[in-house]
Amino acid sequence: MLQAFLNIFRIPDLRNRVLFTLGMLFIYRIGFWIPLPGVDGEKIAEAAASAVEGGSGWGRLLQYASIFSGGSLSQSTIFGLGIMPYITAAIIFQLLQTAVPRLQELKKEGASGQQKLTEWTRYVTVGLCFIQSIMWLKFLMAQGLVVPAFQTQPNIALYYLAGITGLTAGSLFLMWLGEQIDKYGIGNGVSLILTAGIISRMPNAVMWIVNNLNISQQDQAGGISLLGLIVLIAAFVFVVAGAILITIAQRRIPIQQAKHTRGRKVFGGQRHYLPLRVNHAGVMPIIFASSLMIFPSAIFGWMSAQSASIDPQSWWSWWPGVTGFLANSFDIGVYPYVVMEIILIYFFSYFWTTVVFSPEDMAKQLRDHGSFIPGLRPGPRTAEYLETVMERVTYVGAGFLAIIAVIPAVVNRYMGIDFMVSSFLGGTGLLIVVSVGLDLMQRVEANLLMRNYSGFLRGGEQGRAPRLRSPRR
């Protein structure tokens, strides 16, 4: 393994790409410490910490947003919005491609159409940055987290102008960094930036474990015992292995290529496989389900807090009990919350698979290329079979996603582990890190093998070109 890493730096082109990628990620982390003008950093850090510890709706939203922004949103830096506005815009256009004929035509045009879609995605990214930055700045102003000098009437316009410009420019700069990594680096730039923000929270998680580690046999309040640490490490290894398995798992369908006779020669007839990913939807079902589950938890919590002032002697004195029951039922890690999240994950798994996977188009492509599934007629019968297989593998993939998604909430609630630590035991962040890490390793492996170097699977030894044997007479 060590020799394989050394081989990366023996190839000039691959070495330059890796160093360029690391340099871009280093620039991203520098911007993490540049604060927005007019924001009181100490107050916002204290308010974020108290909101997370108190379990309020804003605290849950902040925890979820910090997964993708590296925690910079709680510190209100210029990279506070992260790369998520660009990812959101890309998801919007991917969903619209199934409903808007114009976008479908652009997708079929190839490179020129993809360039046009990328341009429109950038415009939508600017609009999303503008809207999200206004909402965030208004919230800071309402909570009194702005420097008093910017709360007066003449300087409010300057505060909004500088804040909107800083947050929008920061998000667009991250989008540009991702494109530069795609062009001159190695790996998917946007995914690497998102992964860097997730991994940046790992040192804080390790420090929490070190500070709360108790060598005694029993767990104390707010601490973790040695046995609990061993269980935590074993659970992390198990979940990572499961995430890798679900990421690379495939259902291979045998494909037979038809034979073609041209003159005296026969072409085709090869047998190969059509790989269908078990987790075809990727991490999108967890993102959608987690985003939607924030709203009922926050809304019911706010309703419970507002109804606490109702007079017990009034005719609607039952209302505080109802809102309190709903707020407790939809708290993170509680049974109704977990059940609802699992239902949403299954729904969005099938929804996203339906959007991005078309059995009719795949059956048409197989027929046009002269291939068929043995025992099935090309055309509608093949499309029906592919749809049935995809429904079954999606059910299994959604089950794995549901297990991985609920592990952090359950560990956080019933084991007393901080959410910052338990989030590395599953959920959106872990799946993103695993998928991006596998993609990066495959790209590096391909570059090593292309230059006659063994990759990570063979210990990194330098390979030799195979000897050509002379044909027998």
Written as one string, the DSSP assignment of 152-173 is SHHHHHHHHHHHHHHHHHHHHH
Q: What is the pLDDT of residue 74?
A: 57
**At the fourth CATH level, which superfamily is domain 213-425?**
SecY subunit domain (1.10.3370.10)
Measured CA to CA, the distance from residue 373 to residue 381 in angstroms comes to 10
Q: Predicted confidence band at 408 (pLDDT cuts at 50, 70, 90)? A: confident
Lowest mean pLDDT among 55-69, 261-275, 339-353, 418-432: 55-69
Whether 411 shows a pLDDT value over 50: the answer reads: yes
* The dihedral formed by the CA atoms of 427, 124, 437 and 443, expressed in degrees to the nearest 10: 160
CB 192 within 8 A of CB 77: no
Whether 70 shows a pLDDT value over 60: the answer reads: no
CB 83 within 8 A of CB 91: no
Whether 468 shows a pLDDT value over 50: the answer reads: no
Residue 372 neighbours by CB distance under 10 Å: 19
Q: What is the pLDDT of residue 220?
A: 53
Exposed e or buried b per residue across 3-33, where buried means at least 16 C-beta atoms within 10 angstroms of its C-beta: ebeebbeebeebeebbebbeebbeebeebbe
Structure tokens at 117: 């879609």
Q: Which residues pair with 256 in a beta bridge?
A: 271, 372
CB 25 within 8 A of CB 192: yes
Measured CA to CA, the distance from residue 331 to residue 60 in angstroms comes to 10
Give me the mean pLDDT over the 96-102 stretch.
80
Burial class (CB in 10 A: 0-12, 13-18, 19+), 186: buried
φ, ψ at 228 (rounded to 5°): -65, -35
Measured CA to CA, the distance from residue 125 to residue 131 in angstroms comes to 10
Residue whose structure tokens are 């292309």:
450
Long-range contacts, 347-352 (Cβ 8 Å, 24+): 347/285, 348/281, 348/284, 348/285, 348/288, 348/289, 349/281, 349/285, 349/394, 349/397, 349/398, 349/401, 350/391, 350/394, 350/398, 352/280, 352/281, 352/282, 352/284, 352/285, 352/288
φ, ψ at 252 (rounded to 5°): -90, 125
CB 38 within 8 A of CB 44: no
CB 278 within 8 A of CB 396: yes
Measured CA to CA, the distance from residue 371 to residue 138 in angstroms comes to 58
Lowest mean pLDDT among 55-69, 133-147, 155-169: 55-69
Q: Which residues pair with 252 in a beta bridge?
A: 275
119: Cα within 13 Å, side-chain hemisphere: 8
Whether 266 shows a pLDDT value over 80: the answer reads: no
Burial class (CB in 10 A: 0-12, 13-18, 19+), 458: middle
Delimiting residues of CATH 1.10.3370.10 domain(s) in the chain: 1-200, 213-425
Structure tokens at 6: 């050394």
Give me the mean pLDDT over the 172-200 stretch.
86
Q: What is the pLDDT of residue 222?
A: 55
**Of 40-44, 295-299, 361-365, where does the model show the most confidence?**
361-365
3-class DSSP assignment, residue 45: helix
467: left (phi over 0), alpha (psi -120 to 50) or beta: beta
Q: Which residues pair with 275 in a beta bridge?
A: 252
> What number does CATH give the domain 1-200?
1.10.3370.10
Q: Predicted confidence band at 424 (pLDDT cuts at 50, 70, 90)? A: confident
CB 284 within 8 A of CB 352: yes
Give me the mean pLDDT over the 314-322 stretch.
66
